[in-house]
């Protein structure tokens, strides 16, 4: 396997900058996930690594080799697409073996051994004689992955491979891809817009927005210590709640912030260059909000929508003096009705604070 190193990589389409100078080192045998909203540049970045798009500026290394000018076939990569891209008239075996048959050094016996080994890893040996139309969506995706495995590439590239599957099958395939990564012990770069996929699969996550890296880190580091408001709002489902406020007082280790409705909260963060009167945004995740807790600072409101999910529920609360609706995670069997008056409690230690530019105040 191999490292993948990007040094100030840029991609322009005409005068439009899509990738705006990304520097990143992907470790050998790491499973790294590029995540971000539609149009952030994650698939373009993957295509630059694959060689399907030309790099406008910067350097790209796979292993020790600079590959800017290398065609895809010489980069030692294999790519799994969202659309499966299987030949409908060929069997599963022939789809997986097709690329190997083009290699002159491969004998039929060697091809058969590689295909059967990959099919065994993916648990699709009984399907080798079927055509793609006879397979389910999940089985087709396994075949597409198998076609990549048999090539024994330096780096696997996955471009939103699960987005065509239903919710239950996506969960199952996430587990299978994680297992596959451990079994192959390979370098794997995975692109998705689904932050849940990113959180459950990645060794590290690269959060992208508008062609720039917002933050790189482990799933829990990004979740608990977001660098900015974009990362805080993107990572986590349901998303982090945000409340607009203003700095009322400053100490060496905290900011006192006034929220709408004359509510004051003192949050333990380093003030940096903060000044009294600055506008800030207070962020708090749904699981850190509490109802009717005497120890917490309270905001009054009423139950607007209640989503019951079985073991837990999400209560959407319309607060007084605040236009936004906040989401609170509560017990699945909580006895709350729509329209009921509630008090949402905020525990200061669980809050994040972001300045007017969206940058986080550090703890």
Mean pLDDT value across residues 173-190: 88
Compute the distance between CA of residue 201 and CA of residue 192 in angstroms, rounded to an integer: 11
The residues, ordered by sequence, that sit 6+ positions from 114 with a Cβ below 8 Å of its Cβ are 97, 100, 150, 152
Looking at the fold, whether 248 and 227 belong to one and the same domain comes out as no
Looking at the fold, whether 252 and 304 belong to one and the same domain comes out as yes
Looking at the fold, whether 262 and 194 belong to one and the same domain comes out as no
Compute the distance between CA of residue 324 and CA of residue 6 in angstroms, rounded to an integer: 40
Looking at the fold, whether 41 and 176 belong to one and the same domain comes out as yes
Looking at the fold, whether 224 and 256 belong to one and the same domain comes out as no
**pLDDT score, position 1:** 63
pLDDT at position 320 over 70? yes
Instruction: Assess if residue 107 is contained within a domain.
Output: yes
Q: Give the rounded percent of residues in the chain with a pLDDT score beyond 70.
A: 99
Instruction: Assess if residue 17 is contained within a domain.
Output: yes
Looking at the fold, whether 189 and 276 belong to one and the same domain comes out as no
- Yes or no: say if 195 and 236 are a contact pair by the CB < 8 Å rule: yes
pLDDT tens by residue, 16-36: 999 999 999 999 999 999 999
Mark which of 234, 256, 280 sits at the end of a domain: 234
Compute the distance between CA of residue 226 and CA of residue 41 in angstroms, rounded to an integer: 20
**pLDDT score, position 175:** 87
pLDDT tens by residue, 242-257: 999 999 999 999 999 9
**pLDDT score, position 104:** 67
Mean pLDDT value across residues 219-228: 96
pLDDT tens by residue, 130-166: 999 999 888 998 899 999 989 888 999 999 988 888 8
Q: Strands, DSSP E only, in 182-332?
A: 187-192, 204-209, 212-217, 241-250, 255-259, 263-267, 279-284, 289-291, 297-308, 312-319, 325-331
Ramachandran bin of 260, using left for φ above 0, alpha for ψ from -120 to 50, beta for the remaining angles: beta
Domain boundaries, position 183:
4-234
Between 137-149 and 92-101, two packed helices, what is the crossing angle to 10 degrees?
20
The CATH number of the domain holding residue 332 is 2.40.50.140
Looking at the fold, whether 116 and 89 belong to one and the same domain comes out as yes
Compute the distance between CA of residue 266 and CA of residue 283 in angstroms, rounded to an integer: 13
Ramachandran bin of 303, using left for φ above 0, alpha for ψ from -120 to 50, beta for the remaining angles: beta
Q: Which of 315, 258, 321 is nearest to 289 (CA)?
A: 315
pTM of the model: 0.91
pLDDT at position 292 over 90? no
Looking at the fold, whether 127 and 247 belong to one and the same domain comes out as no
Burial class (CB in 10 A: 0-12, 13-18, 19+), 94: middle
Q: Tokens for 198? A: 């990113």
Looking at the fold, whether 109 and 252 belong to one and the same domain comes out as no
- Yes or no: say if 300 and 320 are a contact pair by the CB < 8 Å rule: yes
Looking at the fold, whether 155 and 257 belong to one and the same domain comes out as no
Instruction: Assess if residue 12 is contained within a domain.
Output: yes
Run of H or E residues at 11: strand 4-13
The CATH number of the domain holding residue 167 is 3.40.50.300
Instruction: Assess if residue 360 is contained within a domain.
Output: no
């Amino acid at each position: 396997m191999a490292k993948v190193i990007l040094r100030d990589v840029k991609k322009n389409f005409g005068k439009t900058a899509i990738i705006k100078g990304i520097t990143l080192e992907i470790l050998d045998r790491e499973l790294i996930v590029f995540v971000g909203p539609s149009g952030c540049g994650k698939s373009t970045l993957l295509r630059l690594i694959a060689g399907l798009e030309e790099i406008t500026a910067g350097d790209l290394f796979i292993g020790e080799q600079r590959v800017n000018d290398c065609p895809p076939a010489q980069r030692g990569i294999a790519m799994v697409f969202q659309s499966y891209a299987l030949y409908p008239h060929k069997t599963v075996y022939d789809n997986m073996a097709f690329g190997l048959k083009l290699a002159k050094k491969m004998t039929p016996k060697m091809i058969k051994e590689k295909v059967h080994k990959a099919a065994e890893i993916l648990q699709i040996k009984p399907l080798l004689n079927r055509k793609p139309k006879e397979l389910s969506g999940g089985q087709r995706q396994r075949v597409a992955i198998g076609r990549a495995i048999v090539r024994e590439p330096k780096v696997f590239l996955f471009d939103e491979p699960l987005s065509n599957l239903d919710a239950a099958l996506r969960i199952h395939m996430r587990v299978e891809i994680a297992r596959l990564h451990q079994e192959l012990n390979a370098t794997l770069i995975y692109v998705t817009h689904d932050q849940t996929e990113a959180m459950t699969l990645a060794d590290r996550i690269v959060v992208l927005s508008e062609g720039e890296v917002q933050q790189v880190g482990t799933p829990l580091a990004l979740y608990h210590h977001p660098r900015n408001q974009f990362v805080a709002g993107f990572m986590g489902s349901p998303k982090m709640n945000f409340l607009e406020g203003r700095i009322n007082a400053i100490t060496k280790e905290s900011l006192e912030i006034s929220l709408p409705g004359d509510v004051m909260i003192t949050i333990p963060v380093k003030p940096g260059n903060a000044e009294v009167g600055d506008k800030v945004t207070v962020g708090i995740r749904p699981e850190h909000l509490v109802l009717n807790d005497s120890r917490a600072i309270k905001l009054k409101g009423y139950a607007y929508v209640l989503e019951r999910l079985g073991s837990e529920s999400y209560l959407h609360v319309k607060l007084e003096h605040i236009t936004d609706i906040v989401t609170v995670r509560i017990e699945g069997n909580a006895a709350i009705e729509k329209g009921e008056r509630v008090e949402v409690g905020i525990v200061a230690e669980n809050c994040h604070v972001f300045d007017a530019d969206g940058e986080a105040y550090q703890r």
